[in-house]
Amino acid sequence: MSAETGCMVAIDGPAGSGKSTVARAVADRMGYTYIDTGAMYRAVAWKVLRADLEVGRDDEEIGRLAGELSFGFRAVGDGRHLFVDDEDAETAIRTPRVGNLSSPVSAIPQVREHLVAAQRDMARHEPVVMEGRDIGTVVFPSALLKVFLTASAEERARRRYDQLVARGEDVSFEQVLADMRARDERDRNRPIAPLRIADDAIEIDTDPLTINEVVDRVLELLADRLEGYDGTAV
Ligand code: DC
């Protein structure tokens, strides 16, 4: 029996770089738990809208709110849904409106403090694959393997556009591309935990690769790391 606990794989990168698909597939193959930290920032944004709060004006209250929420990922059908205070939030957090608001919400220091603590907690008793923007740099700087996925803005917007259309959202490609560029710009330039590649992360440009090729590459890298790994928490 393996006693692995902690962050076995940290996957960071900009929106639409394929992080979720790759992280989920790697977790499935390894029997690890998949954690989508972006979903948690989206959930706070969703609650902000519901409570009629405004970023900039109500940051203190938003920070408090983030600390009061309880998060849990549960299997629903063949996917995993984020539950917030026992309510299935999955559909509500995937709208473009919540996605756009999650970026300024995630720049509020108290929000990050609470969510980072919750994320560390989730890996305390089991091995996880965690994806986000700051997993390798802030949440788990000692993760066994750190991967940073990149892709051109056009390719990322195309993937996100296809996802939204499949979900029945009425969006234009130009709008998705513009939203994505604006979000990247904010995520990269915020003062706290900006999106950046950790010194010891391995960068994979996904533009010329299929998802399966990216997954295989990550699994190969992980197999290498596991060879020298002694089973202590990471
Ligand atoms: O990955 P996503 O698009 O679901 O993320 C939603 C927002 O949350 C995104 O604008 C950046 C932010 N985020 C973050 O700041 N840190 C993370 N670890 C994950 C997401």
Q: What are the pLDDT digits (tens) for 157-192?
A: 999 999 999 999 899 999 999 999 998 899 899 999
CA distance 30 to 26: 6
Q: Which of 7, 36, 41 is the best mutation target for the ligand 1 pocket, counting ligand atoms within 8 Å of the beta carbon and taking the most?
A: 41
Q: For 99-138, give the DSSP string.
A: HHHHHHHHTSHHHHHHHHHHHHHHTSSSEEEEEESSIIII
Tell whether ligand 1 has an atom less than 6 A from the beta carbon of residue 32.
Answer: no
Give pLDDT, residue 10.
98
Give pLDDT, residue 2.
52
Q: Which of 37, 82, 111, 128 is the best mutation target for the ligand 1 pocket, counting ligand atoms within 8 Å of the beta carbon and taking the most?
A: 37
Q: Which candidate, 115, 5, 18, places its Cα nearest to that of 71? A: 115
- Give the pTM: 0.93
Tell whether ligand 1 has an atom less than 6 A from the beta carbon of residue 133.
Answer: yes
Q: Could you tell me which residues come within 8 angstroms of residue 41 by beta carbon, excluding any fewer than 6 positions away? A: 102, 105, 106, 111, 115
Tell whether ligand 1 has an atom less than 6 A from the beta carbon of residue 179.
Answer: no
Q: Where are the chain's structural domains?
A: 7-224
Q: Could you tell me which residues come within 8 angstroms of residue 225 by beta carbon, excluding any fewer than 6 positions away? A: 144, 145
Q: Which of 81, 94, 106, 190 is the best mutation target for the ligand 1 pocket, counting ligand atoms within 8 Å of the beta carbon and taking the most?
A: 106
For the domain made up of 7-224, the CATH class stated in words is alpha beta
Atom of ligand 1 nearest to the CA of 186: 10
Atom of ligand 1 nearest to the CA of 134: 18
- Give yes or no for a contact between 195 and 188, defined as CB atoms under 8 angstroms apart: yes
If you take atom 15 of ligand 1, which residue's CA is the nearest one?
106
If you take atom 9 of ligand 1, which residue's CA is the nearest one?
103
pLDDT-based confidence at 103, cuts 50/70/90? very high
Average pLDDT, the chain: 94
Average pLDDT over residues 199-216: 96
Average pLDDT over residues 82-111: 95
Is pLDDT at 223 greater than 50 in this prediction? yes
Is pLDDT at 29 greater than 70 in this prediction? yes
Is pLDDT at 32 greater than 80 in this prediction? yes
Give pLDDT, residue 233.
76
Give pLDDT, residue 230.
86
Is pLDDT at 86 greater than 70 in this prediction? yes
Give pLDDT, residue 218.
98
Is pLDDT at 153 greater than 70 in this prediction? yes
Average pLDDT over residues 185-211: 93
Answer left, alpha or beta for residue 130, where phi above 0 means left and psi between -120 and 50 means alpha: beta
Is pLDDT at 110 greater than 50 in this prediction? yes
Tell whether ligand 1 has an atom less than 6 A from the beta carbon of residue 119.
Answer: no
If you take atom 14 of ligand 1, which residue's CA is the nearest one?
133
